[in-house]
Amino acid sequence: MVFAEIPYKARIELKDKQITVRGSKLLLDKVAALKAQYGNDPHKWPQQRVGSGEDILINEFIMKANFEFKFCYNHEELCHCRNVPTEKVFTSIKNECFKVEDVSRTTLAGTGCGSCKKDITDLIEQFKKS
């Protein structure tokens, strides 16, 4: 099973060659368009130009299906001062926090010593560039 999700908001899942989607109408429409154009195999889907959290979620799903997904920051915890996991920062990015200040406001990452702000920036850039 391959999946990508924004907790309590959206999820794309591939299980037994079936893709299920739950979330916003925008996400449902984007996945339906990909399926119509490229078929039900996410290995054949191109990564999306990022303009929204839905695009990041779709790209995460495609990368996971192709075993290409990994963070540019390779530690479980991104902000040691505030004990903020890397996954929590990534979830805030999928929720369209595309600036360090927005990530900090929603996760507290970067609000202690500030040394992780570059790592937050790198993570934002990694997923916004797709």
Residue 130's pLDDT band (cuts 50, 70, 90): low
* Rg for the chain, CA atoms, rounded: 15
The dihedral formed by the CA atoms of 89, 103, 62 and 19, expressed in degrees to the nearest 10: 90
Q: What is the mean pLDDT of residues 73-101?
A: 96
pLDDT at 69 exceeding the cut of 60? yes
% pLDDT > 90, the chain: 96
pLDDT at 128 exceeding the cut of 90? no
Residue 112's pLDDT band (cuts 50, 70, 90): very high
**For position 55, what pLDDT does the model report?**
96
